[in-house]
Amino acid sequence: MKVIGLMSGTSADGIDAALTEIRGEGLKTKIKLIAFETYSFPRKVRKMILNASDPKTARIDQICHLNFYLGELFAEAARAVAKKAGLGIREVDLIGSHGQTIHHLPREKREGGYKIRSTLQIGEPSIIAERTGVATVADFRPRDIAAGGEGAPLSPYLHYLLFSNNKKGLAVQNLGGISNITFIPARAGIKDILAFDNGPGNMLIDGVVERLTQGRSRYDKYGRRAAKGKVNSGLLKQLLKHPFIHQPPPKSTGREQFGARLIDDIIKSAGRKKIPITDLMATITAFTAHCIGISLEKFILPRYQLVEMIVGGGGVGNPVLMSMLKERLKPLRISTFEDYRLDSDAIEAIAFALLAYETIQSRPGNIPAATGATGSVILGKIVPGTNPNC
Ligand SMILES: Nc1ncnc2c1ncn2[C@@H]1O[C@H](COP(=O)(O)OP(=O)(O)O)[C@@H](O)[C@H]1O
Ligand SMILES: [Mg+2]
């Protein structure tokens, strides 16, 4: 099947669109990436997403509107990536769309005798199916939550298919807005996978740069600002007390814990301590690397042998973050998806193409050991296509 995966992560930087060809089943599944592109969001769209994600600024009329608007943008991204591959959209069999997370509340809240966890991804799949004619699977996370899980992380299924092996324990580390790890022990069955969110990825780095430049810069390009500064050990120590980092898995997080409020606190705290901006950038970048280090030391290394970490996501483009990570995890071997002839930026979009492929064939895609669900479930909601092939 030719399957397009569409993904926009918590960074809200743009839509990752991957056109793949997938065949086979289970560990024999073969996935070929035919075309990939990130379609950046215009500044205004990103602002709409961030406003809709923060309880202080969110408005229900705007969320309602944005759900359908993002549906149009996701549909446009699907058409564009098909064009890039030299295919007509009607030659595509299936679309898997993660959508845009605007809220994620995985901690249980008691309500009317029920224990409620919730998550909200928008980018209306009916629009995607209508504009493209292609059957669209979306809203992957709620079914895992219904089965008692966190609804995240979901990319471990792809990581498992790509990297399970008989020889060595491997970790796949994604550096998106949030960072998340999938640990695959040697000779692992799917039940042996360990996966969870480590804490912030680029989210705090982006947030602080955006705030300090009044929105002129959206991220610390190539880590240039952090490279000029020194890590402030007092502030780093304070940041490392964040409870999420020490909470045992299963766990997942987002802007609710590492978004605007924490960024405000950090900037205020740095102001009081008279920490220069470059040092603040170095410290936040180090914090991101240390969160990953702590999660390995607490939850993986005491029980397993880890030989290599394969890193992906936008953070690979930040050499300061990468070198801090290498330093913090020494002597662990660190590689990137590119070392395996894969594209660091495309992996998450490919993951949702794969999950749609499983769903349309009535096969489960969650890994209960990763999400905490009580069992395997078929993920997502299917919007039929108008194309007779779908
Ligand atoms: N050249 C670069 N230098 C520094 N940071 C980068 C670079 N390229 C990408 N990034 C970081 O990667 C982020 C996007 O990563 P991505 O994997 O798309 O995250 P998400 O899945 O949350 O959307 C950007 O917001 C930015 O912080
Ligand atoms: Mg992104």
CB 206 less than 6 A from any atom of ligand 1? yes
Distance (Å) from CA 343 to ligand 1 centroid: 14
Residues 165-340: name the CATH superfamily.
ATPase, nucleotide binding domain (3.30.420.40)
- Per domain, the residue ranges of the chain are 2-151+345-383, 165-340
Q: What ligand 1 atom has the least distance to the C-alpha of 203?
A: 27
Distance (Å) from CA 317 to ligand 1 centroid: 7
Which protein residue's CA is at the shortest distance from atom 14 of ligand 1? 314
The ligand with the least distance to the CA atom of 153 is 1
What confidence tens digit (pLDDT) does each residue in 194-250 have? 999 999 999 999 999 999 999 999 999 999 999 999 999 999 999 999 999 999 999
Whether residue 390 has pLDDT greater than 60: no
Strands 308-312 and 170-175: parallel
Which protein residue's CA is at the shortest distance from atom 10 of ligand 1? 314
Confidence (pLDDT) at 387: 72
Distance (Å) from CA 385 to ligand 1 centroid: 33
User: Mean of the per-residue pLDDT values for the chain?
Assistant: 96
Tokens read off for 333 = 């071997």
CB contact set of 32 (below 8 Å; sequence gap of 6+): 20, 21, 22
pTM (predicted TM-score)? 0.95
Which residues share a beta bridge with 174? 180, 312
pLDDT > 70: percent of the chain: 99
Q: What ligand 1 atom has the least distance to the C-alpha of 38?
A: 18
CB contact set of 49 (below 8 Å; sequence gap of 6+): 12, 41, 66, 70, 100, 102
**Which of the two residues, 227 and 344, has the higher pLDDT score?**
227
- C-alpha 145/C-alpha 244 separation (Å) is 19
Which protein residue's CA is at the shortest distance from atom 18 of ligand 1? 314
Counting Cβ atoms within 10 Å, is residue 312 exposed (0-12), middle (13-18) or buried (19+)? buried
Confidence (pLDDT) at 354: 98
Which protein residue's CA is at the shortest distance from atom 11 of ligand 1? 314
Distance (Å) from CA 7 to ligand 2 centroid: 7
What confidence tens digit (pLDDT) does each residue in 249-268 have? 999 999 999 999 999 999 99
Confidence (pLDDT) at 164: 93
What confidence tens digit (pLDDT) does each residue in 116-144 have? 999 999 999 999 999 999 999 999 999 99
The ligand with the least distance to the CA atom of 204 is 1
CB 200 less than 6 A from any atom of ligand 1? no
Distance (Å) from CA 78 to ligand 2 centroid: 15
CB 202 less than 6 A from any atom of ligand 1? yes
CB 283 less than 6 A from any atom of ligand 1? no
> Average pLDDT of 5-19?
97
CATH number of 2-151+345-383: 3.30.420.40
CB 288 less than 6 A from any atom of ligand 1? no
Taking the CA atoms of residue 14, residue 2, residue 387 and residue 64 in that order, the dihedral angle to the nearest 10 degrees is -20
CB 315 less than 6 A from any atom of ligand 1? yes
- Residue written as token pair 């039940």: 191
Confidence (pLDDT) at 388: 64
What confidence tens digit (pLDDT) does each residue in 44-77 have? 999 999 999 999 999 999 999 999 999 999 999 9
Q: What ligand 1 atom has the least distance to the C-alpha of 205?
A: 27
> Ligand 1: which of 121, 202, 211 to mutate, judged by most atoms within 8 Å of the beta carbon?
202
Distance (Å) from CA 377 to ligand 1 centroid: 31
> Ligand 1: which of 8, 13, 40 to mutate, judged by most atoms within 8 Å of the beta carbon?
13
Which protein residue's CA is at the shortest distance from atom 6 of ligand 1? 317
Distance (Å) from CA 352 to ligand 1 centroid: 19
Distances (CA, A) of 193 to 26, 35, 186: 15, 29, 10
Which protein residue's CA is at the shortest distance from atom 21 of ligand 1? 9
CB 219 less than 6 A from any atom of ligand 1? yes
What confidence tens digit (pLDDT) does each residue in 24-48 have? 999 999 999 999 999 999 999 999 9
Cα angle vertex 141, ends 136, 146, to 5°?
120
